[in-house]
A and B are shown apart, each in its own frame.
Chain A
Amino acid sequence: MNKQVKNAEAALDGLESGMTVMLGGFGLCGIPEACIKAMSSSTVTDLTCISNNAGVDDFGLGLLLQKKQIKKMISSYVGENKEFERQMLSGELEVELIPQGTLAERCRATGAGIPAFFTPAGYGTEVAEGKEVREFNGKMHILEHAFDADFAIVKAWKGDTEGNLIYKATARNFNPMMAMAGKVTVAEVEELVPAGSLDPNEIHTPGIFVQRIFKGENYEKRIEQRTVRPRT
Chain B
Amino acid sequence: MALDKQGIAKRIAKELKDGYYVNLGIGIPTLVANYVPEGISVEFQSENGVLGMGAFPLEGEEDADLINAGKQTITVKEGASFFDSATSFAMIRGQHVQLTVLGAMEVSENGDIANWKIPGKLVKGMGGAMDLVASAENIIVAMTHTNKHGDSKLLPACSLPLTGVACVKRIVTDLAVLDISPEGGFVLRELAPGVSIDEVKEKTAGKLIVPEEVEEVKV
Which residues of A come within 8 Å of B, CB atoms?
A: 26-30, 52, 75-79, 85, 88-89, 95, 97, 99-105, 107-108, 119-127, 157, 167-177, 204, 221-231
18 A-B Cβ contacts within 8 A? A27-B48, A29-B71, A89-B122, A100-B131, A102-B131, A103-B85, A107-B86, A108-B86, A122-B134, A124-B164, A125-B162, A127-B130, A168-B65, A170-B49, A173-B85, A226-B73, A227-B74, A229-B55
Number of residue pairs spanning A and B whose beta carbons lie under 8 angstroms apart: 181
Q: For this complex, into which size category does the number of interface residues on chain B fall?
A: 35 or more
* Residues of chain A contacted by B55 (CB below 8 angstroms): 229
Closest chain B residue to A78 by CB distance?
B125
Closest Cβ of chain B to A173, distance in Å, is 5
Q: Cα distance A121–B46 when bound, in Å? A: 18
User: Do residues A120 and B93 form an inter-chain contact, with CB atoms below 8 A?
Assistant: yes
Which residues of B come within 8 Å of A, CB atoms?
A: 46-50, 55-74, 82-86, 88-89, 92-93, 112, 122-131, 134-135, 161-165
Most chain B CB within 10 A, of A28, A97, A174, is at A97
Q: A121-B130, A121-B134, A229-B56 are in contact. Are A174 and B124 (CB under 8 A)?
A: no
User: Do residues B85 and A119 form an inter-chain contact, with CB atoms below 8 A?
Assistant: no
Q: A99-B126, A102-B131, A223-B73 are in contact. Are A29 and B64 (CB under 8 A)?
A: yes
User: Do residues A104 and B70 form an inter-chain contact, with CB atoms below 8 A?
Assistant: no
* Residues of chain B contacted by A105 (CB below 8 angstroms): 86, 89
A172 CB contact (under 8 Å) in B56, B59, B83, B124: B83
